[in-house]
A and B are shown apart, each in its own frame.
Chain A
Amino acid sequence: MMRALLAKEFRALRPFVFCILGMFLLGVAYTFATEMPDEQKFIPSAWLADDRSGSFAALALFALMIGAGVLINESEQGTLRFLDGLPVSRTRLFIAKYLAALAVTLLVMLIDVPAIVLLDWLSRASPDGPLAWNFLGAQIWLQAVAAAFLVALALAFSFVRRWFALVVGLLFGGYLWLHARGVEKIALFNPYELLGASFDEGRVRVPWSHVAAHVGATAALLGIAWLGFLSLGDRAQFVAGQLGKWRVLRLLGAGLRLLAPLVWIAAMVRIFGSAAADEAKLAAMPLGEAAFAREETVYYEFLFRSAQRAQAAPLIAEADAVFGSVRHLLDAAPPPSRIVVDLASPVMPHAAGQTNWTKIRLPIFPEQNLDEQKLILGHETAHVFIGQLSDGKLTAHFRYIRFLHEGLATHIEQQLFADETERAQNRRSVAAAWARGVVPFELLCDDTELSRARDANLAYPLGEVFARALIETHGSDAPAKLLRAFARQNKPAGLAGSALWRDTMQAAQLDFERVVAAYEGACATIADEQKAFVKKMPRVSATVSVEGDEIVIRPKFDGTAPGDLLCLIEGEDLLKMEMPELPRRDDGTFALPRARVLQPRLRYLLGWRTPETRLPVFEPWAETNL
């Protein structure tokens, strides 16, 4: 009977099988049409970084689509009564349905395997060695576990029907909330993380804790789904009908369902993380005070709390001069309206100011002096001009132009408002970074790659060198020309990295090769000039070990410590925006709870904080398997 039941389920799921096959064929055709078939090597690290999300999305899509209908459709279409008439229990029906749904979902992944193997065979050159069969095998098993979990999840929640948006929103929001509250173990139930097996020197490390959590959760969800399936039918419909007669309950139900958007907004808001604000700075601001004041100058409109008036006055008096200097240096027309400067609101932690189009947030603190405030105002005003010159179009290419935005603003700040000490600090930052590995233009102009390889804040000092190289090569109006070229109409779409920069500079009549040569040459020269300083900054590495419940990072360096040693780890928030700094212990090591790192590898950044440089001097990102 079981075989007959399975055959019936497979017959019912046949459209999904055709859909999966069709999608697979389309995918193959798409790959062949858009890419070279012999450039599709199966590289575990590349798969984890680039293809994992796509595979997971396809698996999740079909698991949810299939699971959401396989049980409830029988009840909705009235065919459950026929099945009840058969000499089989609901439990057997349930098992047959789950197995069939799982098998069809697994087809999404299994059908992909021969294509991966074939394309890899076409792409593999003799030095590449054989295909990473062990990683591929591990992925098949992990995806099977993920599929079992996702189908069970869909089955369990298939009964909620009209409540689906609300329930899934609550689940998602709850997951993020718990994660933000420090319940790191909740990530064990993230099926996407489950697929993150690491591959190192031919060895696969499977996240067994994730596997165990998923197996347990699958069992629990199947239990819920089974109970739900058992109660389907006349009794459930009768109860639902009785409840539906109560107008209050109906209204309450409708109201609760309409909460779904709110729940989703809350979840989305939670994605932005819960970065702890710079509490000390915030505490210094009279945030409780409600009286606001405003003062206009020719080019700015300042908003501040009444209690800040005395501190704001000198900056307001100097503001137009700051504006004039920046405008002169950029050779740009003033914005059509005054720039709004909000001195009363906080900004992101570790930032001194923040600019959005023509509004600047520049929280002033009692310990700041006027020069410091002018420097920040100059930097942020430069951002306003950059936005105006590019007509706000730079945001579309943020990944490829962040270094220009920050570099140009830093250059203006350094030229106009910094003293020689601050300029020297900037140069030392450049020299130390360059000595720890050159950052060619191809890397500098891709913020994603730069952040993956090095400290992302290098965009400031290295961007400054680039901005200076641009101006020295093509004159002071070069930045304006370049920014206008980014804003031009009918520019080609789809350009990225160097190709985007070459195209834009060509359109601005600027010589890409000369500017790149000037940038790389200037960095090398600065590194040469600052040789003595670079020598003082020992290279630092570390050994990482798991000791009991802790991960211990033991830094190593030769010579004397030139400052405080820092250790940052990769962001734990969903958007990877934060990089938590680990406290250094008395024995010189850094430690974090083992439970905080759920993946089998740890990425960390080691560096020196010293007053001699503008930024901490970080080594490139290091990664170790745990």
Chain B
Amino acid sequence: MIRGLLTKELRQHGFALMFLFLVVLGGLALIAGHGPLHRALGGGFSAVQLLHTTYVPLAALVLGQMLIATEFRQKTQLFLEGLPLPRWRMLAVKFTLGLAVLAGAIGAAIFAAWWQARGTDAITPRFAALVALKSAGWVWFIYTLCFAHAFLGRYRVAFGLALLFGYFTLDTSGVRVSEFGPFALIDDRFAYERFVLPGRALAIAAALGLGLAALGFAMGLVRDASVASLLAEKMSPREKVFITFLTLTVLMLCGYIAEHRQTATPVQMPGATEAQRGVVRVFASAAVDAPTREETAALERVAQRAADELGALAEYLGCATFPPVFIVHRRDLAGGAVQSGGLKPAQGGMVRANLTAKEFYERDLLEAIVQQTLLAHTGGLAGRERNAWVHDALSAWWPYRQPRAAAESDLNPKWVAKARPTLPPDFSARHLDAWLSVAREDNLRGSGTLAATGLVVLAQRHGAEARQRFLAAMFREHRPADFRGWLADVFRPRARLFRAATGVDEKQFAREWRDALALSTTP
């Protein structure tokens, strides 16, 4: 009876099966015959690897469709079920026939590749066995996957697409799917590895294949195959759209999860000089082979100073947490240059400078550090234009602040001299909203100083406490660098915080600020 079943399958699909067999050889010839591709691939068996990734999944899909899905869709399995034969045998014949065709086709391809590359590939029995084993593992896995997949009936397209796109999404998101079991069998080493047996990958592929084959048989046998028959019913247009939508949703969720996997790791600086004050930790390190005594002293001094300044800032703002700060000494940088370390907000703030250069000025470094750490603390939101003047102001003012409020009764004449050219003639609250234009107009020379004068004027007119309340309201909270941070920032706009903290609105304050600068003396 089994022979009869086999004859029926061969009569029904013989032509197609033979064609599948021949197509693989045609594919091999196409790949091997394409000069640039052949040269790029580097070896005769690379063409087989390419077939494994293109032909084998397609052929397995076609086989599953031909031997299983069509039978259930057209309900012709009912005729077979009328035969005096257990249903599992019917499935076993189909399963074995498909597997044999696919394995035979790939076997022929391996033989053809060997024949073609016998002069330019060192083919040893071990190498041949490795290629054959890896091919067998992969074919087994893919075929059983497509076999089980064929029983999904009308959901097989959606499931197949989800599987395919899911694979690519995960792969492009940095999840190393290609290193997993069956996929590792046909990786870049497939055509070249001559010694190492990928035992683990083979075992995983074999086990997965067994599981999938069992799943396929279970779906084909459970409740007298009624599950497979029901799944094989045609999909309504609404169901089609719903399934498409569902598939896309699942894919987007996959993307979301992949994107939210760790994309930055904590920065470590072994051997760095460390200083701590309150919640602030500062690490300073020299990016040189052997730091001189002068450099070591500079690192210690700068680290301590930065920790003190930032610790005081954290206390001033009332921050419960503060990002770690990294200072890197670079001999090759020009004296006055301060470079950003380009860390992600979650990693902290980093600046690079030549700490021992003649032109190095510690307060410039501190200004850059405050700027960087505020950005890290607020997930980058401090740098948005709506917050920019306060961010610039705090960064520029903090290293130069006067310890006693009395000392701020007058504006620093040097600041006034630097800030005045930056001040737009019609300076008003509107400029606070368009602060980046003010800064650009001045080519970023004095905008920080101008902003800092604002904080001094604020303290002069409305009290140092009002200034502290305002700055704390702006920067106290840590903001994650995502939608939550953005929402928190947008729903607590600067102008409202300013009014709540100082009791005046920004329009009035801008007038006071402009007048104060106009009346101040310059050196």
Interface on A for B, CB 8 Å cutoff?
12, 15-16, 18-19, 22-23, 26-27, 30, 32-38, 65, 69, 73, 125-127, 251, 254-255, 258-259, 261-262, 264-266, 268-270, 272-275, 277, 290, 292, 294, 301, 303, 305, 335-338, 340, 342, 344-348, 354-359, 361, 392-393, 395-396, 442, 472-473, 492-496, 498-499, 502-503, 506, 509, 511, 513-514, 516-518, 520-521, 524
Contacts and interface: CB of A to CB of B under 8 A. Distances in A.
Contacts of B27: 261-262, 265
B8 to A, nearest CB: 17
A282 to B, nearest CB: 9
B120 interface: yes
A509 B270 contact: yes
Interface of B: 15-16, 19-20, 23, 26-27, 30-31, 34-37, 39-43, 46, 51, 54-55, 58-59, 62, 118-122, 173-176, 178-179, 187-189, 191-196, 237-238, 240-242, 244-245, 248-249, 252, 255-256, 258-265, 267-271, 285-289, 328, 330-332, 342, 344, 352, 380, 384-385, 433-437, 440, 481-483, 485-486
Contact of B483 (A32, A268, A348, A396): A32
A269 to B, nearest CB: 5
B332 A521 contact: yes
21 contacts: A19-B245, A23-B248, A37-B486, A125-B436, A126-B436, A127-B436, A264-B54, A340-B121, A340-B122, A342-B43, A344-B119, A356-B41, A356-B43, A357-B188, A493-B262, A499-B265, A511-B270, A511-B285, A513-B352, A517-B287, A521-B332
B341 to A, nearest CB: 8
A271 to B, nearest CB: 9
B36 A273 contact: yes
A277 B483 contact: no
Given A254-B15, A277-B36, A495 B263 contact: yes
B43 A359 contact: yes
Nearest to B241: A15
A300 to B, nearest CB: 10
A251 B15 contact: yes
B37 A392 contact: no
Which has the most chain B C-beta neighbours within 10 Å: A34, A69, A513, A521? A513
A346 B43 contact: no
B16 A261 contact: no
Given A262-B26, A493-B262, A494-B261, A15 B238 contact: yes
A126 B288 contact: no
Contacts of A12: 237
Given A19-B245, A513-B352, 8 more contacts: A30-B252, A36-B482, A254-B16, A336-B196, A358-B193, A359-B121, A495-B262, A517-B287
Contact of A354 (B42, B121, B352): B42
Contacts of A502: 265, 267
A400 to B, nearest CB: 11
B332 A513 contact: no
Contacts of B192: 340, 356-359
A126 B263 CA distance: 31
A126 B437 contact: yes
Contacts of B35: 274, 277
Given A251-B15, A265-B55, A493-B173, A348 B36 contact: yes
Contacts of A305: 119
Contacts of B352: 513
A393 B180 CA distance: 12
B44 to A, nearest CB: 9
The 7 closest A-B pairs by CB, nearest first: A292-B119, A521-B332, A126-B434, A517-B287, A15-B241, A357-B192, A356-B42
Contact of A492 (B62, B249, B262, B285): B262
A269 B189 contact: no
A357 B352 CA distance: 39
Nearest to B240: A15
B39 A348 contact: yes
A273 B287 CA distance: 45
Nearest to B20: A258
Nearest to A473: B289
A329 B265 CA distance: 31
Contact of A33 (B122, B193, B483): B483
Nearest to B244: A19
A502 to B, nearest CB: 7
Which has the most chain A C-beta neighbours within 10 Å: B23, B39, B43, B332? B39
A121 to B, nearest CB: 13
Contact of B191 (A33, A356, A472): A356
B489 to A, nearest CB: 9
B19 A347 contact: no
B261 A493 contact: yes
Nearest to A578: B36
A51 to B, nearest CB: 15
Given A36-B483, A127-B440, A272 B40 contact: yes
B345 to A, nearest CB: 11
Nearest to A21: B245
Nearest to B489: A38
Contacts of B121: 303, 340, 342, 359
A262 B178 contact: no
Contacts of B187: 392
A496 B121 CA distance: 36
A505 B288 CA distance: 16
Which has the most chain A C-beta neighbours within 10 Å: B41, B118, B178, B482? B482
Contacts of B191: 356, 359
Nearest to B271: A511
Nearest to B187: A392
Given A15-B241, A494-B259, A266 B30 contact: yes
Given A19-B245, A258-B23, A272-B40, A303 B30 contact: no
Contacts of A275: 36
Contact of A493 (B20, B26, B176): B176
Nearest to B15: A251
A399 B162 CA distance: 27
Given A356-B192, A357-B192, A361-B42, A517 B331 contact: yes
Given A258-B20, A262-B27, A269-B31, A303 B122 contact: yes
B189 A301 contact: no
A523 B39 CA distance: 34
Contacts of B262: 492-495
B140 to A, nearest CB: 20
B174 A38 contact: no
Contacts of A303: 119-122
B401 to A, nearest CB: 28
A30 B256 contact: yes
Contacts of B255: 30, 34
A337 B244 contact: no
A360 B173 CA distance: 31
B385 A125 contact: yes
Contacts of B286: 514
Nearest to B36: A275
B311 to A, nearest CB: 24
B342 A127 contact: no
A69 B240 CA distance: 12
Contact of A514 (B42, B51, B287): B287
Contact of B344 (A22, A32, A292, A499): A499
A252 to B, nearest CB: 9
Contacts of A35: 482
A548 B268 CA distance: 61
A368 B480 CA distance: 60
Nearest to B481: A36
A513 B30 contact: no
B256 A34 contact: yes
A272 B437 contact: no
Given A354-B42, A492-B261, A262 B119 contact: no
A492 B265 contact: yes
Contacts of B342: 442, 498
Nearest to A525: B332
B330 A517 contact: yes
